[in-house]
C-alpha cells in the first residue's frame, strides 16, 4: 500500500506543496484526509479575499481585504478548511495579491475600494458580512485614489522602474490593474489582512506578482511578526537563470533583499532545455553549479504554474505530457528545493491536470520524496538521454527521455548502495538486486525509475494507469 511510503516520511522544509488551483475551500476541507494520506504536507489555495466573477483570473483582482467572499468560499468556509487541514496534519498556504486591486474602470472612474456598490451590499446583508469580516469597518471604503501609483501601463519589461511602479495592462486600450502604493494607508490594512490570515491558521504565503513590487514595499507589508515561522515565496518570472537579463534585474535582487524563497524559474528553464528535442539531460546533473537553479532553501520547484496552461502568453512554457511526468520524477527525486504539484479543475480545457494530485504515479513519486528527505544526493551517471542518481543508500533514481532504452552499469563501490539487497521501483514494481560490480540497469524508453530499498516499505506501491477515485477520503491500494 502507498500508505507505507507516506507514513514513514519525516517533516522537513521540503515537504511537497499541493497547488489546489481554483478549488473551493469546502472542497479542500472535504479532501483533507485524502490529501494527507497521499503524502502532501501543505496546500496552496487561491486568493482568500473579496472578489467577483466566475473566471479563475477574477480571484487575482481584489476588491477588499476585509472579508473573504468569492465563488471559492467565504471566511467561514476558509476557517473550516484550515481546521480540517490542521487536524489532518497539513499546512495551509494562501496565495496573496497585494500588488494591485481589481480593474473596475469599466464600472466607475474612481479608485475607491471596494466601491459604493459593494458597500451597499455590505449594508444590505449586514449579518452575513459581519460573519465574514476579518478586520475594519465595512461601512466605509478601505482604499482611495491616494493609495495608488501613477496610472501608466508597463511597456518595457527591462525597465525596473516601470515594472515595479506602473500597471499590468492587457493592451487594446485596457487601463490595467490599479497598482498599489507603499504608503501607510495602503500597507497598514494589508498587514492587518495577513495577520488575520495567520490567526485563521495560514502558515505560508505565495506572493503573486512579486516581480512588480519593490523590495521596500514587500518588506513593509511582510513584517517579521507576519512571516515568523511561515514559508513565504514570491512569483518572480524570469526566462532562465545566470545570463538571463530578467534574472539579474529581478530575481537576484528579490532573493538578496527579501530573504524569501521564490519560484525556481531558472530550474524550470533548465528542464525545458534538457527535455527539448536535441536537449542534453546531462545538464540536469548539477544545474545549481551552472547558475541555472536556485539554492535549496530558496527554491520552490515545479513543472508548471497556473499561468502556463491558462494564459496564451505562457503556454509555450508547458512541457510535453510525458516529459512533464519525467520532470516530476526529477524534482521529486532530487534533494534540493521545495516541490509543488499542480492540480486543477480543467480550467484550461486540456484535461491534463484534472485530479493530477491523485495520479498513482505522481503520488508514488511524492511518497518516494517524503522518505528520501535528509538523504544526500550523488549523481552516478548521465548522458544526453538520461540521468541516474542515488539518494543516500536507500534510493536510486533513473530518468530516460529518449525513444530507446538505455543501459547503465553500476559500480557498487562507487554508488555505495547496499550489496545483495532488493530495491523496488515505486512506479513499475521493477526489482533490482545489485550482486556484482558493473551491475547493469536498464532504463526503458521515455520512462523514470525510482527504486527504493525494499525493507523501507511494507510493500512497494503498484503503478496503475487508471487514477484511483475513492468515494471517501481513505487511502487507495495501488
Active site residues: 208, 235
Instruction: Compute how many other C-beta atoms are within 10 angstroms of the C-beta atom of residue 229.
Output: 7
DSSP 8-state class, residue 167: B
Peptide bond before residue 114 is cis, with ω within 30 degrees of 0? yes
Q: How far is CA 391 from CA 156, 332, 369, in A?
A: 44, 11, 10
Asked whether the beta carbons of 347 and 56 are under 8 A apart, the reply is: yes
> How far apart are the C-alpha atoms of 363 and 365, rounded to whole Å?
5
Q: How far is CA 194 from the centre of its chain?
A: 19
Q: Tell the residue number behind the cell numbers 526489482, with chain if given.
A: 431
**Residues in contact with 91: Cβ distance below 8 Å, sequence separation at least 6, in sequence order:** 15, 41, 42, 43, 85, 203, 204, 231
Q: C-alpha grid cell for residue 314? A: 505562457
DSSP 291: T
The pairs formed by 108-112 with CB atoms below 8 angstroms and a separation of 24 or more are 110/145, 111/143, 111/144, 111/145, 111/147, 111/148, 111/178, 112/141, 112/143, 112/144, 112/145
3-state secondary structure of 342: strand
Q: Using the 8-state DSSP alphabet, how is residue 251 labeled?
A: I
Cβ within 8 Å of residue 7, ≥6 positions away: none
C-alpha 276/C-alpha 203 separation (Å) is: 37
Residue 67, C-alpha cell as written in the block: 472579508
- Cβ-count burial 298-323 (b if 16+ within 10 Å, e if not): bbbbbbbbbebbbeeeeeebbbeeeb
Amino acid at each position: 500500500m502507498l500508505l507505507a511510503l507516506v507514513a514513514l516520511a519525516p517533516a522537513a522544509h521540503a515537504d511537497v506543496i499541493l497547488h489546489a488551483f481554483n478549488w473551493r475551500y469546502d472542497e479542500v476541507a472535504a479532501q483533507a484526509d485524502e490529501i494527507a494520506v497521499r503524502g502532501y504536507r501543505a496546500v496552496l489555495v487561491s486568493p482568500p479575499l473579496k472578489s467577483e466573477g466566475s473566471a479563475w483570473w477574477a480571484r487575482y483582482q481584489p476588491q477588499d481585504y476585509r472579508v473573504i467572499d468569492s465563488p471559492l468560499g467565504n471566511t467561514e468556509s476558509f476557517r473550516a478548511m484550515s481546521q480540517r487541514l490542521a487536524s489532518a496534519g497539513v499546512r495551509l498556504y494562501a496565495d496573496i495579491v497585494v500588488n494591485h486591486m481589481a480593474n473596475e474602470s469599466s464600472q466607475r472612474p474612481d479608485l475607491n475600494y471596494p466601491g459604493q456598490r459593494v458597500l451597499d451590499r455590505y449594508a444590505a446583508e449586514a449579518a452575513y458580512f459581519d460573519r465574514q469580516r476579518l478586520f475594519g469597518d465595512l461601512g466605509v471604503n478601505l482604499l482611495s485614489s491616494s493609495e495608488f501609483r501613477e496610472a501608466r501601463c508597463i511597456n518595457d519589461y527591462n525597465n525596473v522602474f516601470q515594472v515595479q511602479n506602473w500597471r499590468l495592462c492587457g493592451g487594446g486600450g485596457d487601463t490595467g490593474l490599479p497598482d498599489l502604493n507603499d504608503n501607510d494607508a495602503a500597507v497598514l490594512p494589508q498587514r492587518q489582512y495577513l495577520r488575520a490570515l495567520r490567526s485563521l491558521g495560514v502558515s505560508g504565503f505565495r506572493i503573486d506578482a512579486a516581480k512588480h513590487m519593490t523590495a521596500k514595499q514587500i518588506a513593509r507589508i511582510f513584517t517579521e511578526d507576519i512571516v515568523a515561522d511561515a514559508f513565504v515565496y514570491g512569483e518572480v518570472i524570469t526566462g532562465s537563470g545566470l545570463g538571463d537579463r530578467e534574472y539579474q534585474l529581478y530575481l537576484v535582487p528579490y532573493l538578496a533583499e527579501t530573504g524569501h524563497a521564490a519560484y525556481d524559474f531558472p530550474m524550470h528553464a533548465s528542464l525545458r532545455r534538457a527535455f527539448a528535442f536535441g536537449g542534453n539531460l546531462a545538464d540536469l546533473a548539477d544545474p545549481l553549479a551552472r547558475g541555472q537553479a536556485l539554492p535549496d532553501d530558496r527554491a520552490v520547484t515545479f513543472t508548471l504554474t497556473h499561468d502556463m496552461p491558462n494564459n496564451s502568453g505562457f503556454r509555450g512554457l508547458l512541457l510535453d505530457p510525458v516529459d512533464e511526468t519525467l520532470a516530476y520524477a526529477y524534482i521529486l527525486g532530487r534533494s534540493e528545493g521545495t516541490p509543488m504539484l499542480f492540480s486543477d479543475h480543467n480550467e484550461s480545457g486540456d484535461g491534463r491536470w484534472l485530479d493530477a494530485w491523485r495520479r498513482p504515479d505522481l503520488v508514488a513519486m511524492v511518497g518516494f520524496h517524503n522518505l528520501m528527505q535528509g538523504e544526500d544526493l550523488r549523481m552516478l551517471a548521465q548522458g544526453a538521454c538520461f540521468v541516474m542518481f542515488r539518494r543516500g543508500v536507500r534510493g536510486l533514481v533513473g530518468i530516460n527521455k529518449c525513444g530507446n532504452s538505455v543501459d547503465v552499469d553500476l559500480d557498487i563501490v562507487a554508488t555505495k548502495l547496499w550489496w545483495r539487497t532488493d530495491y523496488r521501483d515505486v512506479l513499475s514494481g521493477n526489482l533490482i538486486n545489485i550482486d556484482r560490480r558493473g551491475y547493469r540497469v536498464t532504463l526503458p524508453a521515455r520512462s523514470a525509475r525510482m527504486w527504493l530499498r525494499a525493507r523501507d516499505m511494507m510493500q512497494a506501491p503498484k503503478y496503475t494507469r487508471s487514477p484511483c477515485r475513492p468515494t471517501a477520503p481513505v487511502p487507495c491500494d495501488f
